[in-house]
Amino acid sequence: MPFPEDLSEKANRSLARLGVQVRCSTMVKHVNEEGLTIESEAGTDSIAAKTVIWAGGITASPLGRILAGRTNAETGQGGRVRVKPDLTIPNYPDIYVVGDLASATDEKGKPLPGLAQVAMQGGQYAATAILRKGKGRRELPPFHYFDKGSLAVIGRAAAVANVFGAQLSRFLAWMVWAFIHLLYLVTFQSRVLVFIQWAIQDLTFSRGARLITGGASTDFNFTKEPSEVGAAREIKPAPVHVPR
């Protein structure tokens, strides 16, 4: 997630306080049961580990490639379908692709990030456009993404926030993060329930249950193309809402 440099540095310091070592500009090349091999400008290095948790990775649903194949659309990074400024597939004005499945750009040609805000605003835009078409009304102007800012939670009472021009860190940013997340939950009932759950966790320092189930291969080679390594590069954790 893009953050100004000084906020990134503050986030780095908060992580260091938790004992986390951050390595930027470093690619994971190989993971096996002994640990992982990493590569950076400084060269190749290895980290011995019995447990490796892969916590990111944005690969679009295979549906993207199917859709692109049937409509001759181009795909971008991670199999995202390249869309026009109105979020439709070229030559298919009735097919809208939004969110993580879409490779869309802003007015300056900069790719839109794979974030929930982009998906939500894109969904709203497509729904409005479809309703207008149904009523025979004038088409909407191209999709414009309104960047409300970025938030990242780091731990208990630690976060960074870059919202509406204000750059916040630590407890204040964490309060903003918690407030905004509660605000975006769909019903009043779920807001109250999550608030109570968070309060109990924070007051009792309790941990929620985290289950990692199922077996997986223990040898992933990231220097090969996705098709060569099969499922290894296809893993995309579902963005489940787990309050801290």
In the complex, the residues that contact ligand FAD under the rule CB under 6 A are 55-56, 61, 63, 99-101, 114-117, 119, 237, 239
CB of 2 to ligand FAD, least distance (A): 12
Nearer to ligand FAD, 61 or 105 (CB): 61
Q: Which helix (H) or strand (E) holds 136?
A: none
CB of 204 to ligand FAD, least distance (A): 25
Nearer to ligand FAD, 205 or 213 (CB): 213
Nearer to ligand FAD, 63 or 137 (CB): 63
User: Which residues, at least 6 apart from 191, have a Cβ–Cβ distance to it below 8 Å?
Assistant: 182, 183, 185
CB of 119 to ligand FAD, least distance (A): 3
Q: Which residue number has the CB closest to ligand FAD?
A: 99
The answer for 172, left when phi > 0, alpha when psi is -120 to 50, beta otherwise, is alpha
Compute the distance between CA of residue 180 and CA of residue 151 in angstroms, rounded to an integer.
9
Selection from 178, 172, 152 nearest residue 8 by Cα:
152
Nearer to ligand FAD, 79 or 114 (CB): 114
Determine contact, residues 83/104, Cβ cutoff 8 Å.
Answer: yes
CB of 174 to ligand FAD, least distance (A): 14
Q: In the structure encoding, which two tokens stand for residue 213, read together?
A: 């189930």
